[in-house]
Amino acid sequence: MSPNEWLAIGMIGAFFVLLLIGLPVGIAIASTAFFFGFIGFGPALFNLLPSRIYGVVTNYTFMAIPLFVFMGVMLEKSKLAEELIDVVGHLFGSISGGMGVAIIAVGVLLGAATGIVGATIVTLGLLTLPTLLRRGYPKSLATGMICASGTLGQIIPPSLVLILLAEILGESVGTMFAAAMVPGLTLAAVYIVAILVLAALRPGLMPPIPAAERAALSRGQLLRKVVLVVGPPVGLVVAVLGSIIGGVAAPTEAAAMGALGALLFVALSGRLSFNLLKEVATATLLISAMVFFILICAQVFGLAFRGLGGEHLVARMFDWVPGGETGALLFMLLLMFVLGFFLEWIEITYIALPLFLPFFVQLGVDMVWLGILVGLILQTSFLTPPFGWSLFFLKGVAPKEVSTLDIYKGALPFIALQFLAVALVFTFPAIATWLPRAIGW
């Protein structure tokens, strides 16, 4: 290997070391890239950096990020989740495992409406975990369902993961949203089927809601609540996604209408206030600033890595992997899964994926299919011990009798179910590619 390729390896190693000692992600990315890039080429390597950064901050598609974040935070702050849990819980409460099915269904709805993993898990943990434990659900099973449900927003559009993957893969956001619809719902269906099968095999494990509690709402009252509580957010999501996937509006335009729709929805519910608006604006600013800071810092890393010959190094690494294209793809997905134990999805997306992507482009791999496989694998990073964010979020609000080990044990079966969903999409690519082709993307 050339000296510059050794510098590329050292840059990756130094990046992980800085992360492990607690340096913020963006600073770790940029500092290692500047240091090793200057050693290899001097300042001339970074002459293209201003245009790269300008390209990020003026990217029209990226304007959708703060708008979708605003929509999600507004719906989350309006206590939408609390009402959804109550309504959906009553809909499925008469069957064994019904509360588990309701939690997954709420995860799908909140994932599409807000896409905010932390908010979904904290809300589900506060509102449902004590009830599940009181009704006799095992601690590990209850915590696993909540953590898995909360991560569904990472693959069900509109999702920040899909927006960034679209940019990296050179595909349109509408294509990625359309491609993720069926796999995302397939994953939710896998969760639900597993819960129902377990409930059928062990009926006493997940008892139904007592009849007296279900009788508190008449059928008419329940139907009215379904229309008033479930209808508006579902209608908003359908309108936003439908306009993007159908080609009626650009992602940024649809995100703007979604943000306005969420604002009107909260206003009509009588919950809009200056303090709420201030909280939502602050949260939107913080989340969006974090995403853009890492995106900008990743430009430095990508420029240095390519300048040091890292792409050729990666190509030679894949030559060592047996199995041709299939073996290389499985190796990349496995590596990303392992990285998920230690890194967040945005770091893996903007650091690891661009390193491997040129190799698969050269092989002619379908980028849409590849993107959905990567998205499903990235989702596991929220569940994998020891640093899965879903596990941390739930531990922060769980009752004292629920230990960290209980939460870890609960997540493991759902990680296995996620691998089953990945295997389905890997074996049957049409699960991801059928809908974009059917609508002409």
Output DSSP code: residue 95.
Answer: S
Mean pLDDT of 221-228: 76
The string of DSSP letters for 245-313 reads HTTSS-HHHHHHHHHHHHHHHHHHTT---HHHHHHHHHHHHHHHHHHHHHHHHHHHHHHHHHHTTHHHH
pLDDT at residue 143 in the model: 92
Please, which pLDDT band fits residue 54 given cuts at 50, 70 and 90? confident
Give the residue carrying structure tokens 């199995």: 323
pLDDT at residue 401 in the model: 85
pLDDT at residue 188 in the model: 94
The Cα 123–Cα 78 span in angstroms is 12
Looking at every residue in the chain, the average pLDDT score rounds to 82
> 235-275: per-residue pLDDT in tens?
887 888 888 877 778 878 888 888 888 888 888 878 888 89
The Cα 344–Cα 23 span in angstroms is 14
* Residue 182 pLDDT exceeds 90: yes
Distance of CA 53 to the CA centre of its chain: 25
Mean pLDDT of 140-169: 87
* Residue 13 pLDDT exceeds 80: yes
pLDDT at residue 339 in the model: 76
Please, which pLDDT band fits residue 425 given cuts at 50, 70 and 90? very high
Per the structure block, which two tokens stand in for 251? 């992602």
Global model pTM greater than 0.85: no
Domain residue ranges in the chain: 3-438
> 278-314: per-residue pLDDT in tens?
988 998 888 788 778 877 887 887 778 777 777 666 6
